[in-house]
Amino acid sequence: MATLDLDPAAGAFDPADLQRTLDGRYADLRARIREVMSRPEFEPPVEISREAYRALVMDWARRLAADGMTAPGFPVQYGGEGDFGANVAGFETIAFGDLSLLVKFGVQFGLFGGAVQQLGTAAHHERYLRDIASLRLPGCFAMSEAAHGSDVQNLLTTATYDRDTGEFVIDTPIDAAHKDYIGGAARDGRMAVVFAQLHVGTQSHGVHALLVPIRDEHGSVLDGVRIEDDGYKLGLNGVDNGKLWFDHVRVPRENLLDRWGGVSTDGVYSSPIENPTKRFFTMVGALVQGRVCVSGASVSAAELALTIAVRHGLRRRQFGPDPGHEVPILDYRVHQRRLLPRLARTYALHFAQAELRERFHRVMSAPEEVSDRERRELESLAAGMKATASWHATDTIQACREACGGAGYMAVNRFAALKADTDIFTTFEGDNVVLMLLLARGLLTGFAEQFTGLSPVAMASFLAGQAAEVVVERLFARKIAQVVGDWVGGDEEDLLDPAVQLALFQWREGHITASAAQRFRRHIKDGHAPFEVFRSIEDHVVDVARAHMATVQLEAFRRAVRDAPEGPVRAALSQMCALFALSEIEREKGFYQEHGRLSGPRCKAVSRRVGELCERIRARAGAYVDAFGIPDAVLRAPIALAGEER
């Protein structure tokens, strides 16, 4: 039996030290928000009617606004701190509290405010940002339509310029074009950023955003606007989602958010970006914050769930060598296997999120200094992280709920809301599958300048135009050079070598990417229609993105280990990083063997190592979750408190 010599002192670390590494440079902001979330009045309701919940959430949002905590990303003169990264870090920390508040907050200050900030120009900022930050102007972000969710480029709402009056006419041309799932629409919103196809004269200029008032200051719906409540939802019932129809609603010319395209009084359209497809992706790209925030909130939700489940696993005793000696359920291998690899993945995502946040901060803080390529890389990474982290949250919260048994089913222990509220994270801000395809597109084309459309046809045609090997070489030359030779059957100790682990991740990514690109090319050459080719290998393409995101996580985790203070904290992270790497390799052992990269005995060795690492990490499991820094007053789940038995 593989036993470990576990020196009780070995591997001990102070969770407060590890927390400092996890909190990173926004530790002060996070501490401030933790304090607010700890206040009794911010306790998430366990059971509440929809109307009362909506009112409570609006009240909470107003309190945060009164405290000036709503929009650190706005310029200082409009109530912010001019710090884009702080926007994200704040959102990540609020996510430990009520998630309807989080989403309400995100809609108002992130999506609505962010659209005005990113798509509008100085006059819009001057006129609106202050009122948005203070919540004097509650707004909506009206992008999705019933018939077009993730396919924004083809939405149907129109904004037609009327030269005679200098107004835009906003219209919902067919019923399926109504805006749907719009947060703030059903109850609180006064104004909406509406995405519509812009028509000037006989010309269409593609999707643009306009500010459209929907209610007066008394809350009455304005003429020409029709609103329906979306009704009860699976979760997030403190957010007032609704549907919006526009019947030839007129807004002044100035209401067009015209940073990327404007119309003069006499009806001349102009834009700093000539190519309409590029313009569209630039506009949408400017809204990347939403995905960065959802990714961060997903990681926080997984941290919260794991904190509850791990603490419960340490306190709850069942079975044992005999009835008088029951053991903590986290001592059972199955329980460890259920929670600890997910804990390792949460750590990996935490650090990947920190890098995403930094990259976002850099791009947004100095847009003029940033290349198109950097911007697109940010968008790809945000898409991949949002999908990866939200799927991880769904999976982890479910595992944690089950690990807490019947107690986990009681709403007071938080999984009820956590599960329900985060469920939509895999869908909103872009359906995860569509986002993974978007990321894969970037990977497969090497962000080629000539290819900026989302259309699968264009993607297929582009790829058909060059040898797959060229694409792959350009992308992975550096990485493939790092890959060690075929060490099937080599020395078992290699498995714990971080360089070997990383090489395996990179080998997988490179191999999947190359083979997907080759399939594209072969089928196109064989004369198949591009769309059919895309359709038939779509699952392979998603795997490209998945493999890439695994590498992204491991690389981020390794950099975090490298940058951590030498000593117990670095050792603790190093151990967790090994569990992450090996449990991912174990999960993909089918692939590694299929492609002759790992032998059967090596795969078995990987599984043994995962088991051993689980035992080691179990010995410090309480400290590892304490380091997430969720105060008891924020955690609130009774099964995770009263720690005397730990």
Q: What is the DSSP letter of 565?
A: P
Question: Do β-strands 158-162 and 191-200 pair in parallel, antiparallel, or remain unpaired?
Answer: parallel
Part of the chain binding a copy of itself (CB under 8 A), chosen from 26-34, 267-275, 404-412, 506-514: 404-412
Q: What are phi and psi of 206, to 5 degrees?
A: 85, -175
Contact criterion met (CB below 8 Å) for 471 and 477? no
Number of residues that bind a copy of itself (CB under 8 A): 87
Q: Is residue 420 part of the contact set for a copy of itself (CB under 8 A)? A: yes
Residue from the set 431, 473, 494, 497 that interacts with a copy of itself by CB under 8 A: 431
d(CA 584, CA 307): 22
Q: Which two three-digit tokens encode residue 57?
A: 């959430």
Please pick, among 379, 429, 509, 584, the residue that the annotation labels catalytic: 429
Q: Looking at beta carbons only, is 3 or 220 nearer to a copy of itself?
A: 3
Q: Which residues contact 63 (CB under 8 A, 6 or more apart)?
A: 41
Catalytic residue status for 47: no
Q: Which residues contact 232 (CB under 8 A, 6 or more apart)?
A: 50
Q: Looking at beta carbons only, is 455 or 574 nearer to a copy of itself?
A: 455
Contact criterion met (CB below 8 Å) for 299 and 353? yes
Residue from the set 449, 563, 594, 645 that interacts with a copy of itself by CB under 8 A: 594
Minimum Å distance from CB 6 to a copy of itself?
A: 13
Residue from the set 8, 40, 406, 485 that interacts with a copy of itself by CB under 8 A: 406
Q: Is residue 149 part of the contact set for a copy of itself (CB under 8 A)? A: yes
Q: Which two three-digit tokens encode residue 595?
A: 């492609």
Residue from the set 55, 370, 433, 633 that interacts with a copy of itself by CB under 8 A: 433
Q: Which two three-digit tokens encode residue 343?
A: 């804990």
Q: Is residue 154 part of the contact set for a copy of itself (CB under 8 A)? A: yes
Part of the chain binding a copy of itself (CB under 8 A), chosen from 101-109, 184-192, 260-268, 418-426: 418-426
Indicate the helix (H) or strand (E) that contains 228.
Answer: strand 225-229
Minimum Å distance from CB 319 to a copy of itself?
A: 6
Q: Is residue 331 part of the contact set for a copy of itself (CB under 8 A)? A: yes
Q: Is residue 646 part of the contact set for a copy of itself (CB under 8 A)? A: no
Q: Looking at beta carbons only, is 86 or 284 nearer to a copy of itself?
A: 284
Q: Is residue 144 part of the contact set for a copy of itself (CB under 8 A)? A: yes
Part of the chain binding a copy of itself (CB under 8 A), chosen from 190-198, 278-286, 450-458, 628-636: 450-458
E-only strand ranges, 275-387 = 317-318, 327-328
Minimum Å distance from CB 462 to a copy of itself?
A: 15
Q: Report the alpha-carbon angle 632-634-635, nearest 5.
A: 60
d(CA 307, CA 301): 10
Give the per-residue SS3 of 164-217. Answer: CCCEEEEECCCHHHCEEEECCCCCCCCEEEEEEEEEECCEEEEEEEEEEECECC
Torsion of Cα atoms, 618 then 347 then 89 then 424, to 10°: -100
Minimum Å distance from CB 233 to a copy of itself?
A: 6
* Burial group, residue 40, by CB count within 10 angstroms (0-12, 13-18, 19+): exposed
Q: Return the residues of window 16-75 that contact a copy of itself according to CB under 8 A.
A: 46-47, 49-50
Q: How far is CA 295 from the centre of its chain?
A: 2
Instruction: Write the DSSP assignment of 441-490 as a string of letters.
Output: HHHHHTT-TT-----HHHHHHHHHTS-HHHHHHHHHHHHHHH-----TT-
Q: What length is written for the chain?
A: 646
Q: Looking at beta carbons only, is 203 or 270 nearer to a copy of itself?
A: 203
Site string for a copy of itself, 356-395 (x = CB under 8 A): --------------------------------------x-
Q: Return the residues of window 459-518 that contact a copy of itself according to CB under 8 A.
A: none
Q: Return the residues of window 574-593 that contact a copy of itself according to CB under 8 A.
A: 588-590, 593
Residue from the set 148, 163, 362, 479 that interacts with a copy of itself by CB under 8 A: 148
Hey, which residues does 161 pair with through a beta bridge? 168
Residue from the set 419, 441, 508, 570 that interacts with a copy of itself by CB under 8 A: 419
Q: Looking at beta carbons only, is 26 or 520 nearer to a copy of itself?
A: 520
Minimum Å distance from CB 640 to a copy of itself?
A: 16
Q: Return the residues of window 333-352 that contact a copy of itself according to CB under 8 A.
A: 333-335, 337
Q: Looking at beta carbons only, is 127 or 522 nearer to a copy of itself?
A: 522
Q: Is residue 1 part of the contact set for a copy of itself (CB under 8 A)? A: yes
Contact criterion met (CB below 8 Å) for 363 and 370? yes
Q: Looking at beta carbons only, is 361 or 401 nearer to a copy of itself?
A: 401
Contact criterion met (CB below 8 Å) for 382 and 411? no
Minimum Å distance from CB 580 to a copy of itself?
A: 18
Q: How far is CA 54 from the centre of its chain?
A: 24
Residue from the set 410, 496, 500, 571 that interacts with a copy of itself by CB under 8 A: 410
Q: Return the residues of window 175-234 that contact a copy of itself according to CB under 8 A.
A: 180-181, 230-234
As annotated, the active-site residues are: 429
